[in-house]
C-alpha cells in the first residue's frame, strides 16, 4: 500500500475558525464552496505569498471604510474556506476523541510516513499491539515517531491536508517553478503576472486538484465517517 503522506516542510500558523454549517436532525452538512469561489481563495494564497504587501493593502482598503465589491467577496470566500476547514478538522478531532496525535500534526513543520511498524509496536490512538504491515510509522519533525493502526491512516492524512492546505498551495508552486526552465521565472514582471500564469496553467490544473481533494474530504467525512469504527477489535488484531 502506497503512502498517503508526502514529505512536507511548512511554517505553521493555523487557527481554527468557527464553522458555518447547516444542521438537519442529528447530522451536520457543510456548505462546500463552488470552484469559482475556491479559485478566488486560491489566488489569495498565491498573491499573499508572492506579494508581501498584498494582505496589508487589503487591510488598508478595509480600514478606509470603502472596500470594493470584489474585496468584500474575497473576504467572504476566504472566511467560508476557513470555516469549512475548521469544521472538518473539528469533526475529525471529535471522531478520534481529541487524541493528542492530532495536536502534534497540527503543530508539525514536517512529516514522513513509513508503511510499516516495528514488531510489537503500540497504536498511539487505540493502544492495541501492532506489527509489520498492520500499521504505519509517522515521523513528525524528523524526531517524533508515532505508530498507528492502518484504520486511522485516512483520518490522519485528511487532517494533515486540511490543516496545512493554505501553506501547501504556494509551496507546491515553488517546487514546480524549481523544476522549470529559468527563463520562465524571469518572464514575470509583477506578482500579478506570476499568479495568473499559475492559476491558468493547463486549464487551472493546480487549483482543480486542491478543490477536488477538499471536496472529496468533505464528502468522506460527511457521508462515510459515521460508519467507520474507531477502536480496533481485539479479534482483528489477533487474526492479522
- Residue 130: HSE in the Cβ half-sphere, 13 Å Cα cutoff: 26
Kindly tell me if the per-residue pLDDT of 142 is higher than 80.
Answer: yes
What's the average model confidence in pLDDT over 186-201? 90
Sequence-separated (6 or more) residues with CB below 8 Å from residue 106: 12, 14, 159, 163
Kindly tell me if the per-residue pLDDT of 13 is higher than 60.
Answer: no
Sequence-separated (6 or more) residues with CB below 8 Å from residue 16: 85, 86, 89, 90
Q: pTM score, two decimals?
A: 0.80
Name residue, grid cell 447530522.
27
> What does each C-alpha distance from 151 to 60, 130, 192, 228 come to in angstroms?
48, 11, 44, 9
Helix H or strand E encompassing 175: helix 153-178
What b/e sequence results for 130-168 when a residue is b if at least 16 CB atoms lie within 10 Å of its CB, and e otherwise?
beeebbbbbbbeeeeebbbbbbbbebbbbbbbbbbbbbb
Extract the C-alpha cell encoding 51.
Answer: 506579494
Kindly tell me if the per-residue pLDDT of 122 is higher than 70.
Answer: yes
Sequence-separated (6 or more) residues with CB below 8 Å from residue 193: 187
Kindly tell me if the per-residue pLDDT of 30 is higher than 80.
Answer: no
By residue count, the chain amounts to: 240
- The whole-number pLDDT of residue 225 equals 73
User: What are the start-end ranges of the E strands in 7-161?
Assistant: 8-9, 21-24, 27-30, 110-114, 117-122, 129-132, 135-140, 144-149
Closest C-alpha to 36, from 71, 67, 74, 87: 74
Kindly tell me if the per-residue pLDDT of 240 is higher than 60.
Answer: no
Give strand pairing partners of 24: 27
pLDDT band at 187 (very low <50, low <70, confident <90, very high): confident
Mean pLDDT of all residues belonging to the chain: 82
- The whole-number pLDDT of residue 229 equals 67
What's the average model confidence in pLDDT over 106-131? 93
- The whole-number pLDDT of residue 212 equals 95
What's the average model confidence in pLDDT over 59-69? 90
Q: CA–CA separation, 74 vs 43, rounded Å?
A: 10
- The whole-number pLDDT of residue 56 equals 94
- The whole-number pLDDT of residue 204 equals 96
Give strand pairing partners of 146: 138
pLDDT band at 213 (very low <50, low <70, confident <90, very high): very high
Amino acid at each position: 500500500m502506497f503512502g498517503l503522506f508526502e514529505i512536507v516542510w511548512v511554517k505553521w500558523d493555523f487557527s481554527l475558525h468557527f464553522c458555518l454549517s447547516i444542521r438537519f436532525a442529528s447530522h451536520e452538512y457543510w456548505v462546500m464552496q463552488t470552484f469559482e469561489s475556491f479559485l478566488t481563495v486560491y489566488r489569495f494564497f498565491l498573491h499573499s505569498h508572492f506579494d508581501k504587501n498584498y494582505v496589508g493593502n487589503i487591510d488598508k482598503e478595509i480600514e478606509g471604510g470603502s472596500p470594493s465589491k470584489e474585496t468584500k467577496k474575497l473576504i467572504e470566500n476566504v472566511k467560508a474556506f476557513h470555516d469549512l476547514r475548521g469544521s472538518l478538522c473539528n469533526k475529525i478531532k471529535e471522531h478520534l476523541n481529541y487524541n493528542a496525535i492530532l495536536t502534534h500534526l497540527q503543530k508539525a513543520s514536517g512529516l514522513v510516513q513509513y508503511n510499516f511498524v516495528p514488531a510489537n509496536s503500540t497504536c498511539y490512538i487505540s493502544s492495541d499491539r501492532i506489527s509489520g504491515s498492520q500499521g504505519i510509522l509517522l515521523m513528525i519533525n524528523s524526531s517524533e515517531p508515532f505508530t498507528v493502526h492502518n484504520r486511522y491512516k485516512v483520518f490522519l492524512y485528511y487532517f494533515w491536508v486540511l490543516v496545512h492546505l493554505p501553506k501547501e498551495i504556494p509551496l507546491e508552486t515553488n517546487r514546480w517553478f524549481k523544476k522549470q526552465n529559468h527563463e520562465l521565472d524571469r518572464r514575470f514582471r509583477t506578482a500579478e503576472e506570476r499568479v495568473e500564469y499559475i492559476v491558468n496553467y493547463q486549464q487551472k490544473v493546480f487549483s482543480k486538484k486542491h478543490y477536488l481533494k477538499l471536496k472529496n474530504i468533505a464528502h468522506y467525512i460527511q457521508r462515510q465517517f459515521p460508519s467507520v469504527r474507531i477502536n480496533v477489535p481485539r479479534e482483528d488484531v489477533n487474526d492479522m
